[in-house]
Amino acid sequence: MSRQIPLIVLSIGAITAAAGLSGCLRSATSDRQKGGLMPAKTIEQVLNERTNEWMAIPGVVGVAIGEFKGKPCIRIFTSARPQQLRAQIPPTIEGYLVIIEQTGPIRALEQKD
């Protein structure tokens, strides 16, 4: 009888662990299907890697990190219509939403001494 108790406890522990692992796997799968997994790179890394490429596109006047519905996104500011740049700039990149925003030209303000 004394040997059966540890065996029962081990069995219950194994079943509990398996059920917990199963729940985690289902959660990870549903997150992956929703696009909810963490991107491999930080948004700062993605922006640093792509800024020169995007700034070389005619009409792009600036890039920045922004927020959309509580999540970080990449904002690309343009003097052209966003639809004109969609062929060159994807709607998402490396897991981050890309928003193209028409702002017109951007100029530095003159400094007064």
Total number of domains in the chain: 2
**52 and 33, same structural domain?**
no
**54 and 94, same structural domain?**
yes
Rounded Cα gap, residues 49 and 68, in angstroms = 21
Rounded Cα gap, residues 80 and 28, in angstroms = 39
pTM of the model: 0.60
**7 and 49, same structural domain?**
no
- CA-based Rg of the chain, rounded to a whole angstrom? 25
Rounded Cα gap, residues 104 and 112, in angstroms = 24
pLDDT for 110 equals: 85
Beta carbons of 95 and 35 less than 8 angstroms apart: yes
The tens-digit pLDDT sequence of the chain (113 residues) is: 555 544 343 344 344 344 443 343 333 333 344 455 667 889 999 999 999 999 999 999 999 999 999 999 999 999 988 888 888 999 999 999 999 999 877 777 888 87
Beta carbons of 79 and 61 less than 8 angstroms apart: yes
**47 and 5, same structural domain?**
no
Q: Does residue 87 form part of some domain?
A: yes
Q: Does residue 77 form part of some domain?
A: yes
Q: How many CB atoms lie within 10 A of CB 30?
A: 10
pLDDT for 57 equals: 93
**63 and 96, same structural domain?**
yes
**54 and 24, same structural domain?**
no
pLDDT for 69 equals: 94
